[in-house]
């Protein structure tokens, strides 16, 4: 115990001292969410005039930083792997760049194709044996990257909870330690809209007792959870553990005891939501976080019987192609894990998995249909039609698996907003789809 504490003190540096070690053209992987190394980023921004060609790779940015200031891109370029928070505006304005990559492949991308020299991530204080936990948002790609990169930086924050699973790094395995005390950010509860509740009710009908679920974040997943309170023995295998999952666990709906992989464990890769969620995960042996190379890979997803994946989309065309990451050519979010789980649910080993794509039937106050004949020009196909199972709107469920293109078109038109159905049918006939 004494030895690791001495090593901790020897590796401890200030944020300014650490930033001074960064050289022009260095490539850095940064923690996201509540694991952003904020003090380090501010110190790095302060010495921008000494740097050229530095690239920062990150997913799930949530905090504004001086690193996003106009003109910073001439010194430090921000490269987002999923657009959130202030980073979205930076990329959309051309002051940063976006890299499309499946969530499950980000560690491979950073280690093999980019070869980042640094990984800097927030962590919990070490336990009595000298192990840090990569806590809420550091496991997905930072932990596997830190295990192979040249310079490992941890930003120790007493507010970050120690979370179990494959989350740990020993003091002896890091190169630099800084300390920070920034508060965690928690998301407030949002009451789902009536449209989201309609979608949630339709999705809940598809989820059987003893299913293992993957739900995302936002109004639709929250609405789904509100309709699951009568289900029995649900399990969780997901990329993101959310507040609604914790509340279903406390109600006895999620038990994880009928899972066929990681039995009795709620498994995810990161956590985003309320303080209630964060405290639930603190040293809880019933919930574990793992790198994204564990949670989001096909061989592991398919081991879960009755695997149900629920993901949101921006638009779906009449053959079933799903766009979830751009509005035409405008980058809107990112590739994320939608394809990982859509494919994984389809290939569940028991043959009872269900992939669900959820979206509101319209946008912009009912003036635009999200069910379209063809995707917008330049729109990204996030899930190919061959891997789409169910599409759900507030008007019902379209079952696409095994259906012809004509059958798919009819199914999807039937769940489109009524005011667009005739137009969709007419335009579908023009291209011989109906």
226 pLDDT higher than 70 = yes
pLDDT at 1 over 70: no
pLDDT tens track for 379-430: 999 999 999 999 999 999 999 999 999 999 999 999 999 999 999 999 999 9
| Mean of all residue pLDDT scores within the chain | 96
| Residue-level pLDDT at 218 | 79
The whole-number pLDDT of residue 189 equals 86
pLDDT at 108 over 90: yes
Task: Tell me what the mean pLDDT of segment 343-370 comes to.
Answer: 97
Q: Residue 2: its pLDDT value, please?
A: 61
Choosing from 239, 288, 315, 360, which is the catalytic residue?
A: 239
Mean pLDDT score, 267-275:
97
Average pLDDT over residues 84-113: 94
Is a pLDDT exceeding 90 seen at residue 219? no
Which tokens in the block code for residue 268? 């995810």
Catalytic status, residue 239: yes
The residues that bridge with 316 in the sheet, in sequence order, are: 322, 371
Distance CA(31)–CA(46), nearest Å, equals 19
Burial bucket for residue 41 (CB in 10 Å: 0-12, 13-18, 19+) = buried
pLDDT tens profile 7-21? 999 999 999 999 999
- Helix-, strand-, coil-residue percentages of the chain, each rounded to 5: 30, 20, 45
Q: Give me the mean pLDDT over the 235-241 stretch.
A: 97
Q: How confident is the model at residue 89 (pLDDT cuts 50, 70, 90)?
A: very high
The model carries a pTM of 0.96
What's the angle, vertex CA 45, arms to CA 39 and CA 50, rounded to 5? 130
What domains are there in the chain, each with its CATH number? 2-180 (3.40.1080.10), 194-430 (3.40.1080.20)
Q: Average pLDDT in the 231-244 region?
A: 97
């Amino acid at each position: 115990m004494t030895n690791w504490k001495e090593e901790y003190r020897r590796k401890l540096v200030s944020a300014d001292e650490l930033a001074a070690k960064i050289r022009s053209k260095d490539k850095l992987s940064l923690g996201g969410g509540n694991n952003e190394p904020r003090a380090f980023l501010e110190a790095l921004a302060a010495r921008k005039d000494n740097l050229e060609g530095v690239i920062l790779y990150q997913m799930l940015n949530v905090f504004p930083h001086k690193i996003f200031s106009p003109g910073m891109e001439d010194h430090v370029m921000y490269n987002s792997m999923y657009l959130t928070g202030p980073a979205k505006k930076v990329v959309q304005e051309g002051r940063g760049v976006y890299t499309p990559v499946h969530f499950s492949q980000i560690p491979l991308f950073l280690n093999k194709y980019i070869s980042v020299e640094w990984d800097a991530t927030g962590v919990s204080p070490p336990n009595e044996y000298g192990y840090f936990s990569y806590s809420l948002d550091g496991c997905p790609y930072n932990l596997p990257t830190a295990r192979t990169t040249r310079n490992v930086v941890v930003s120790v924050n007493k507010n970050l909870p120690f979370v179990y699973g494959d989350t740990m790094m020993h003091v002896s395995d890091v190169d630099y330690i800084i300390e920070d005390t920034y508060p965690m950010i928690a998301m407030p509860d949002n009451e789902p809209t009536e449209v989201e509740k309609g979608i949630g009710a339709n999705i809940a009908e598809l989820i059987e007792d003893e299913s293992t679920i993957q739900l995302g974040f936002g109004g639709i997943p929250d609405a789904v959870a509100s309709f699951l309170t009568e289900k029995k023995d649900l399990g969780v295998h997901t990329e993101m553990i959310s507040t609604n999952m914790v509340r279903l666990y406390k109600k006895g709906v999620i038990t994880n005891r009928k899972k066929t992989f990681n039995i009795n464990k709620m498994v995810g890769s990161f956590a985003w939501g309320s303080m209630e969620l964060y405290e639930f995960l603190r040293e809880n042996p019933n919930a574990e976080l793992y790198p994204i190379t564990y949670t989001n890979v096909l061989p592991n997803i398919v081991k879960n019987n009755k695997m149900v994946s629920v993901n949101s989309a921006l638009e779906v065309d009449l053959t079933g192609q799903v766009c979830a990451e751009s509005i035409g050519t405008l980058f809107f979010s990112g590739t994320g894990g939608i394809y990982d789980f859509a494919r994984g649910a389809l290939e569940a080993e028991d043959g009872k998995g269900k992939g669900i794509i959820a979206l509101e039937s319209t946008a912009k106050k009912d003036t635009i249909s999200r069910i379209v004949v063809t995707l917008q020009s330049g729109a990204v196909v996030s899930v190919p039609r061959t891997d789409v199972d169910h599409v759900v709107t507030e008007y019902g469920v379209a079952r696409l698996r095994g259906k012809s293109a004509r059958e798919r078109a009819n199914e999807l038109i039937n769940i489109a907003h009524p005011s667009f159905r005739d137009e969709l049918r007419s335009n579908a006939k023009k291209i011989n789809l109906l």
